[in-house]
Amino acid sequence: MTLRLGTRGSPLALAQAELTTVALSAAAPGLTVERVVIATTGDRTAQEGAPADGQGIFVKEIEEALLARTIDVAVHSLKDLPVEAPARLVVAAVLPRADVRDAFCSRDGRTLDELEAGAVVATGSPRRVAQLRRLYPRLVYAPIRGNVNTRLRKIRDGEAAGTILARAGLVRLGLEAAVTEVLSLETCLPAPGQGAVGLEARADDPGTLALLEKIHDAATGRAVTAERALLAALGGGCRTPIAAYAAADGPRLRLLAFVGEAAGVRFVQGVQEGAPEDPVGLGRRLGERLLASGAAELIGL
């Protein structure tokens, strides 16, 4: 049996496709996994130097290939995947989650606390800017483009004092040595789904769904389902500073969330616990609480 994996061509995407290949090969000996690299709108705009904004820009063409049956499984960074999937597609599995935390990679080894007033921190993430401005208002936040390696090169070339990247991606690329400081969850909550690899398939493909079920990590699945349910309840776009993280807390599932504005002045945050068997309900309940506490105004609903 041959299974065709659709993936972006960035180094991180290819690393995640390799993780998927290894997991599938272990679960189904004799399976042949074929990798199909697909250029997305986000990849093209990044190459052209334009801002890579827009919900789903890193997944649209891959999902189209899945619907056209030219691939069998789409490999995504789950944080890039919109919460509303196209008809006939499902997130069939997630791999065990890596470290969800963000990391500061500085040019000269200084931490955020050690940077002088006016030092430039490069990040294109409104979520990161909204949270960091609360704690480090003396710093200047500027956008940065390109994949992980490109961003690190720009920092070495002196474009900024440092940049913020997901630690999971750095580890998967073998670049953990670039990390100056791992940011605590109290400093910067991650994006919903950060650190998780999501595997999307056609709902009418029972053979592939059964295969993906063998490599699905249930604990990660419950956590990211709660985070994505919160995101759906909030209804914010990709440029809204929304952060969320769910994890088991004894027999309960605990969900933390943050909604802010890019200026870092106004924000709401909350925490809620619920039964692990109902992650969707947990996410919805906390989302509704945040909306009633002022998140609706921040999001612009």
As a whole number of angstroms, the longest Cα–Cα distance in the chain is: 59
For residues 287 and 261, give the distance between their C-alpha atoms in angstroms, rounded to a whole number: 16
H helices present in 28-136, as ranges: 41-47, 60-67, 126-135
Among 83, 274, 105, 99, which Cα is nearest to 185's? 99
Residue 19 burial by CB count (10 A; 0-12/13-18/19+): exposed, middle or buried?
middle
Residue 53 bears catalytic tag? no
Burial 35-65 (b: 16+ CB within 10 A, else e): bbebebebbebbeeeeebeebbbbbbbbbbb
Which residues partner with 243 through β-bridges?
A: 258
Residues in the chain: 301
Question: Which residue is catalytic, options 80, 204, 205, 278?
Answer: 80
Structure-token match 């390109």, residue found: 146
For residues 263 and 130, give the distance between their C-alpha atoms in angstroms, rounded to a whole number: 6
Phi, psi of 50 (to 5 degrees): -90, 155
Among 58, 95, 62, which Cα is nearest to 221's? 95
Q: What are the catalytic residues? A: 80
